[in-house]
Amino acid sequence: MKNWKRLLAALLSVLLLTACSGNGPESETETEEPSAPAFVSITSAGVTDYYVIRSDTTNSRAEINAAVKVRTEINEATGAEIGISTDWEKNPVYDHEIIVGNTLRGGLDIDITALGETGYIIKEVDGDIYICGGAATGIQMGVDHFLQEFVRDGQDVTVPTGYEHIVYHEFDIPALYVDMHRVDKSWKIVISENAYPKEKQAAETLQETIARKCGFLLDIITGDESVPNAFILSSVKPEASGVHTMHVDGTSFILRSSASTGIAGCTERFIDLYLSWGARGKFNFPGDYEYLDLGDLMIVTYPDTH
């Protein structure tokens, strides 16, 4: 009887130890998923496997210099010899890259042109660093911000995983209206089918000026004064000779001229009056807006500004 009790006690002890150790037949070992690193290391103890990548086709010296600046300042601050290459299709795609400027590399889910002239984005995506801008000026400003934020003498260059910093250009005219209809990128600039080269050039100048002041590029099309949502460089001449006129008709802003400088001169006058370098703020050309330049006499209904 005593031997049987001792055997039972020993068996219970073994079962108890097995249960406590978690090695029983029904026990499961739990493993924790490794957490993502908090930082991406671009340099470590003077060593790096990153390459700076720029566009192979850019003609912008400022954009090229921005890419070189990233490489130079990282090298001078850390001693790391970072490579530099372009997005030419025959060049390799490296495991880790700092993409400077607007290249063929994918990875960004943002319309770069919408950033504007001085706008830029700095973003970490799967270990790559993007520094892109709406124009060369924005790329330069993005590079300067990146270097100021992350590059220090004698310290490793690290960027937080998932880092994103976006700056949009502040346009001088953030909102432009024609009879309280807001002008946006769906609007057009209209010229006649028989437009002269000077008139086509005037349309392109208006297109570039609106893009610079308002932030969107309008398409230039051919047509007449019936086109809605448009700035119309009309072939119709005013009844009076030697004059420029402008007026609003529904959602169209119509420019006419019978002066010697023609519609190109009228377009230049419009830009000088409303879209010059000093023009700022929001304004609306009301439905009764009118401009008539008779030389000695000028009739103007001024746009609403705020």
Write out the chain's pLDDT in tens, 306 residues.
445 455 545 555 544 445 445 454 444 555 566 666 799 999 999 999 999 999 999 989 999 999 999 999 999 999 999 999 999 999 999 999 999 998 999 888 888 888 888 999 999 999 999 999 999 999 999 999 999 999 999 999 999 999 999 999 888 999 999 999 999 999 999 999 999 999 999 999 999 999 889 988 999 999 999 999 999 999 999 998 999 999 999 999 999 999 999 999 999 999 999 999 888 999 899 999 999 977 666 677 767 776
Helices (H), 215-295: 262-274
pLDDT value of position 27? 46
- Considering only CA atoms, which of 81, 64, 63, 60 is closest in space to residue 72? 81
Question: Distance between CA atoms of 108 and 158, rounded to whole angstroms?
Answer: 20
Domain 39-167 has CATH 3.30.379.10: yes
pLDDT value of position 10? 53
User: What is the residue-wise DSSP string for 33-68?
Assistant: PPPPPSEEES-BTTB--EEEEE-SS---HHHHHHHH
Domain ranges of the chain: 39-167, 176-305
> Could you check whether 39-167 and 176-305 share the same CATH topology?
yes
Which pTM does this prediction carry?
0.58
Kindly give, in sequence order, each residue whose CB lies less than 8 Å from that of residue 42, ignoring residues fewer than 6 positions away: 48, 50, 74, 80, 82, 96, 98, 129, 150, 156, 157, 158, 159
Question: Distance between CA atoms of 123 and 38, rounded to whole angstroms?
Answer: 15
pLDDT value of position 30? 57
Question: Distance between CA atoms of 211 and 233, rounded to whole angstroms?
Answer: 17
Question: Distance between CA atoms of 53 and 122, rounded to whole angstroms?
Answer: 14
Which stretches of 135-199 are assigned E, i.e. beta strand?
A: 158-160, 164-167, 176-178, 181-182, 188-191
Helices (H), the chain: 2-21, 61-78, 136-150, 197-214, 262-274
pLDDT value of position 101? 94
Kindly give, in sequence order, each residue whose CB lies less than 8 Å from that of residue 183, ignoring residues fewer than 6 positions away: 176, 177, 210, 214, 229
The fourth-level CATH superfamily of domain 176-305 is Chitobiase/beta-hexosaminidase domain 2-like (3.30.379.10)
Distance of CA 209 to the CA centre of its chain: 18
